[in-house]
Structure 1
Amino acid sequence: MSTSSSECFYNIVKTRQSDRAYDTRPVEREKILRILEAARIAPSACNAQPWRFIVVDDPELKNRLADAAASKVLGINHFTKQAPVHIVIVMEAANFNSNFGSIVKGKTFPLIDIGIAAEHICLAAKAEGLGSCMLGWFDEPAVKKLLSIPKARRVPLIITIGYPATDEIREKKRKSFDEVVSFNKY
């Protein structure tokens, strides 16, 4: 019996997780290119596409980037050196319509758009048999300096990519369906 497209998709969604341990295998360039294509074609408000993706796979540079993501004080993100690839998402200027809509509606559409593209990256990585983890906590000035990102740009996320160290899928601890879903009213 063949698996339907919807079954494949929901399996990817259910088994995608934030992986914080990676094995030593390098990630094939073809897989990274397919993952980036999934991000590139993600939807965005007014088709602004307010992003740039910087792939860091040079081991020395990646380790320096990992140092900027780790916090000794908080004890977080020390796993990042294990990940062979880091994708740094830079928020680029949005087009006029997206910027105008952000002001009028009081929403930062470029950040919403980057969230969508980031999840495309994570789901595509899972589809490729890879693990991923989104990082929002890092030394942004150090990251920008390290990668020659203009001072006027922001770096909202870094995503680690690699082969997970284990095949274990952790149980998802989420609110119940009824706590987060309603129909026709709050």
Structure 2
Amino acid sequence: MDFLQLVASRQSDRAYDMTRPVEPEKLERILEAARLAPSACNAQPWKFVVINDPELSVKVGKATAGLGMNKFAKDAPVHILVVEESMNITSFLGAKIKDKYFPLVDIGIATAHITLAAESEGLGSCILGWFDEKEIKKLTGIPASKRLLLVITIGYSVKEKRKKARKPKEKVVSYNKY
């Protein structure tokens, strides 16, 4: 698939085929895409905790629901938990000098790699920021001292692709001046 077609076809999927598990080889390619993502000073400030046990996946999915949000997550066959790890010293110093927190940028890049790799494998995905962090940490053994930043659901989507609604290019792109 052409890269722009891939980007155009990727969407946040919120309904998955519960009867169709994600093949291990597809999951491994998705995780390799995440592992290879660039990061400031090659710090790689992430750990990906893959939840593919069906019972645990339902529990993690339920821990993402609240106030009517993310009810679909319990039906996702795979959850990738994105945990923030420490920066290396050069990334830490650069962050202090430039007043930028590079791990969040780096994790955003790795997350994009995950969702685009899932799309290229014919899988749907959704990035979730709303979840019960303490409950998921308890369920998965993530240390209390670590930050669980994102949960990414992965599975075979059961819904049709939607037309993307995006701002016109003139609103988000300029050349040589703001």
TM range (shorter): over 0.9
Alpha-carbon distance, 1:102 to partner: 1.3
What residue is the counterpart of 2:29 in the other structure?
34
Q: 2:108 aligns with which of 111, 115, 137?
A: 115
Partner of 2:78: 85
Question: Which among 136, 143, 146 is matched to residue 153 of structure 1?
Answer: 146
Instruction: Report the CA distance between 1:100 and its aligned residue.
Output: 1.2
The ranges of structure 1 where at least 4 consecutive aligned residues each deviate by more than 2 angstroms after the TM superposition are: none
The answer on 1:163 being equivalent to 2:156 is yes
Q: Which stretches in structure 1 are left out of the alignment for 5+ residues?
A: 1-6
Query: Normalising by structure 2, what TM-score?
Result: 0.97
Measured against aligned partners, the alpha-carbon deviations of 1:35-84 in whole angstroms (never above 9, x if no partner) come to 0000000000000000101110111111111111000xx21100001110
Provide the rounded CA distance (Å) in 2 between the counterparts of 1:45 and 1:146. 31
* TM-superposed deviation, 1:150: 1.1
Q: Of residues 132, 137, 156 in structure 2, which corresponds to 1:139?
A: 132
Q: 2:5 aligns with which of 7, 11, 17?
A: 11
Report the Cα distance in structure 2 between the residues aligned to 1:120 and 1:45, rounded to whole angstroms. 16
Structure 2 CA distance, aligned partners of 1:141 and 1:99? 26
DSSP 3-state at the match of 2:166 = coil
CA separation in 2, counterparts of 1:113 and 1:48? 9
Q: Quick one: distance in 2 between partners of 1:50 and 1:182? A: 32
Number of residues of Structure 1 aligned to a counterpart in Structure 2:
177
Query: Could you say what secondary structure the match of 1:53 adopts?
Result: strand
- The answer to which of 100-109 and 113-122 deviates more is 100-109
1:126 to 119, 123, 127: 119
Gaps of 5+ in 2: none
Q: Partner of 2:92 in structure 1?
A: 99
Question: How high is the sequence identity, in percent, across the aligned residues?
Answer: 60
Task: Give the structure 1 partner of residue 176 of structure 2.
Answer: 184
TM-score (norm 1): 0.93
What is the letter of the counterpart of residue 119 of structure 2?
Answer: K
Aligned-residue CA RMSD (Å) = 0.9
